[in-house]
Amino acid sequence: MARLVTLCPRLSTLDTRTARPAPKQADPELLTPEHKAWRQEVLKRAGWKCQAPGCTAHGRRGGVRLYADHIIERRDGGAPLDPANGQALCAKHHSEKTARARAARMGS
């Protein structure tokens, strides 16, 4: 009867202790004083609370990080510095909204 021999794997695993990913680079447009003022205005107008329906996340004293999100994303033609195109979202809802917009943009 033939004996089954295990082959050594041809691909080695990546050692993340020595292979570091490239550092994240912020979009230079997001670092401008105009964008920072827009962000403050959007968050202040929202009362430092997530604006997603049913969400109770609160920034400032609540300790939750809030994102000033463009309702119509900049790459989809949204006004970059119009406060009417901004909403405050917690990390969970910001990620979900961004993923939906990306999927729609990709045609999925």
For residue 90, count other CB atoms closer than 10 A to its CB: 22
Output the pLDDT for position 9: 66
Mean pLDDT by 10 residues, the chain (108 residues): 69 75 86 95 95 92 90 89 95 94 85
User: What is the pLDDT at residue 52?
Assistant: 95
pLDDT of residue 61: 78
Task: State residue 70's pLDDT score.
Answer: 94
- Using an 8 Å Cβ cutoff, are 78 and 72 in contact? yes
pLDDT score for 8: 66
- The pTM for the full model equals 0.73
Beta-carbon count within 10 A of 92 CB? 13
